[in-house]
């Protein structure tokens, strides 16, 4: 399998959830030390990919200032991250450009690795896999993954047949696993998590 360059990969920031544990609303627009979680995700992901997309439901105008194409879930009513990933895959498939893969990340992980996409792409190539997925301490981090655009049709079919979990869908394919330290995937699900993330960023700045 030929190596996959960053220009062949689009990034997708997943922001389609309801943020129930944060009190509802847009988790992507919550601020962490003066920047929204979405701004932080953009800064982390944009250098790693050729294009950047946002998956979010509702009125896309609220994200206009970020300058990203906003893709709503194409199926279901908040069916989870797989629906967002489908939005990205189908968008790219319709474009018929040089993009062959989609790297998915959540909007609420402010410490996601700066080498995430590079290492996922290398593992997928070297192992001859269909999908590459991050893990930490032997546990998968399924929304941090690299997907071939050609799986768009398969994913739609799986969703319509009742599949909702990323790992359940990925089980039918060859998956390359790439390990990082657990803290790389710290995600913000509650006000307490937001406070802890702020403490972590403060500690990094003081070192």
Q: Please name each of the domains of the chain with its CATH number.
A: 6-206 (3.90.550.10)
**Where does residue 205 rank: exposed (0-12), middle (13-18), buried (19+ CB within 10 A)?**
exposed
| Separation between Cα atoms, residue 51 and residue 168, nearest integer Å | 27
Q: Which residue has the tokens 């937001």?
A: 194
**For position 192, what pLDDT does the model report?**
85
pLDDT in tens, 147-173: 999 999 999 999 999 999 999 999 999
Beta-strand relationship, 35-36 and 175-179: unpaired
- State if pTM tops 0.75: yes
| Separation between Cα atoms, residue 117 and residue 188, nearest integer Å | 21
* Structure confidence at residue 80 as a pLDDT band (50, 70, 90): very high
pLDDT in tens, 29-41: 999 988 999 999 9
Closest CA to 140 of 169, 101, 102, 107: 169
pLDDT in tens, 100-150: 999 999 999 999 999 999 999 999 999 999 999 999 999 999 999 999 999
**For position 56, what pLDDT does the model report?**
95
Closest CA to 66 of 10, 8, 13: 13
Q: Which residue has the tokens 């895959």?
A: 89
**CA 68 to centroid of chain Cα atoms:** 14
Closest CA to 157 of 143, 145, 169: 169
Residues forming beta bridges with residue 139, ordered by sequence position: 136
Instruction: Return the H-helix or E-strand segment holding 43.
Output: helix 37-45
pLDDT score of 66 more than 60: yes
Identify whether the C-beta of residue 107 lies closer than 8 Å to the C-beta of residue 15. yes
Structure tokens at 83: 């629906």
Closest CA to 41 of 103, 145, 104, 112: 112
**For position 2, what pLDDT does the model report?**
75
Beta-strand relationship, 35-36 and 31-32: antiparallel
Identify whether the C-beta of residue 28 lies closer than 8 Å to the C-beta of residue 60. no
Phi-psi region of 145 (alpha: psi -120 to 50; beta: other; left: phi over 0): beta
């Amino acid at each position: 399998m030929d190596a996959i360059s960053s220009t062949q990969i689009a990034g997708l920031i997943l922001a389609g959830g309801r943020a129930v544990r944060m009190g509802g609303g847009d988790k992507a627009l919550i601020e962490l030390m003066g920047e929204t979680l979405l701004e932080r995700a953009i800064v982390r992901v944009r250098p790693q990919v050729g294009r950047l997309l946002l998956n979010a439901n509702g009125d896309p105008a609220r994200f206009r200032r970020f300058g990203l194409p906003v893709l709503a879930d194409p199926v279901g009513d908040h069916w989870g991250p797989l629906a967002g990933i489908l939005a990205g895959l189908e968008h790219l498939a319709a474009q018929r450009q040089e993009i062959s893969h989609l790297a998915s990340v959540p909007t609420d992980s402010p410490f996601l690795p700066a080498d995430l996409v590079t290492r996922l792409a290398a593992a997928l190539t070297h192992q001859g896999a269909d999908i590459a997925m991050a893990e930490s301490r032997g546990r998968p981090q399924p929304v941090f993954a690299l997907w071939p655009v050609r799986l768009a049709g398969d994913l739609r079919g799986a969703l319509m047949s009742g599949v909702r979990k990323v790992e359940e869908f990925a089980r039918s394919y060859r998956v390359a696993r790439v390990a990082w330290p657990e803290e790389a995937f710290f995600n913000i699900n509650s006000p307490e998590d937001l406070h802890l993330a702020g403490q972590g960023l403060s500690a990094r700045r003081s070192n």
